[in-house]
Amino acid sequence: MRKGLTTPLSQASLHTKSVVSLAYSEKYNTLISSALDNRVKMLVLDGGEIHCINTKKFDDPVTCVSLHPESKEFAVGCTSGALKVFKLKENTPTSEQQALEEAGLVERKLTKDEILQKKMGTIQQNLSTFQYGKAMKSALYARNTDVLMSTIEELLRRGTLHVALSNQNDRSIVQIVRFATLHVDKPQFTDTMMAVFDVITNIYGPVVSTSSFLHRELLIAQRKIAESIAVLNQMERSMGIMELLLNSSNF
């Protein structure tokens, strides 16, 4: 036996049932596997390790897969007797990524606006079904200031902010406190953020000492609010002096 045939270059367990067919695409330098777990997987070899970059699920166990020599199309056979062929559009794709999308092997990447719209849709669905806690968590992990701020304002309008903030885990509450601390000194957000602090302290005040992270973040918020109040007091004193000077100049 030739040297190297008994030693695998790489191995991985990426299917949950027997792998029954393999096809290699030289064009994309990828391996396509089919198995009895109803799945076809696209695999790449990276740094000596096999990685799955996409999975396509079928209704029945997949018994074979065959790829066109130029990777223009691939065929899949299932135990149900179904034979499915996936073909690219007649016009040549402008990139490898587009070719894979057309073949159905990878999903098209959403734009930032599409991702944001999708997340907003999830939040609206949560609000409409009165799942306020899920709406808050979805808004929080959207990682978008406008999304989180508008969600908090909507919860305040509905009078359900306390419901949304109840039973959140420490990590979520800490991130909300950080968000409120960051925006509390912005005049357009001050009232909203102070409402957030009020609700959080009312709910979690009795147990804040049990969470060092939450305790630390609330201390930071307290200092930030104190600094803002000091600035406002200084502004008020300056306004008083200016008013006194302006009034005296009228005589």
Q: What is the DSSP string of the chain?
A: --TTTTS-S------SS-EEEEEEETTTTEEEEEETTSEEEEEEEETTEEEEEEEEE-SS-EEEEEE-TTSSEEEEEETTS-EEEEE--SSPPSSHHHHHHHHTSSPPPPPHHHHHHHHHHHHHHHHHTT-HHHHHHHHHTTT-HHHHHHHHHHHHHHT-HHHHHTT--HHHHHHHHHHHHHHTTSTTTHHHHHHHHHHHHHHHGGGGGG-HHHHHHHHHHHHHHHHHHHHHHHHHHHHHHHHHHHHHTT-
What is the band of 91 on the pLDDT scale with cuts at 50, 70, 90?
very low
| 78: pLDDT strictly greater than 80 | yes
Q: Does domain 19-87 have CATH number 2.40.10?
A: yes
Residue owning tokens 């804040």: 208
- All structural domains of the chain with their residue ranges: 19-87, 112-246
| pLDDT of the residue at 89 | 44
Q: Which residues of 69-94 are buried (b: 16+ CB within 10 A; e: fewer)?
A: eebbebebbbeeeeeeebebeeeeee
Question: What pLDDT sits at residue 41?
Answer: 87
pLDDT in tens, 177-225: 889 888 888 888 989 999 998 999 898 888 877 777 778 888 888 888 8
As a whole number of angstroms, the distance between CA 221 and CA 205 comes to 14
pLDDT over threshold 90, residue 160: yes
**What are the pLDDT digits (tens) for 23-73?**
888 877 788 889 999 888 888 876 667 778 788 888 889 999 988 888 788
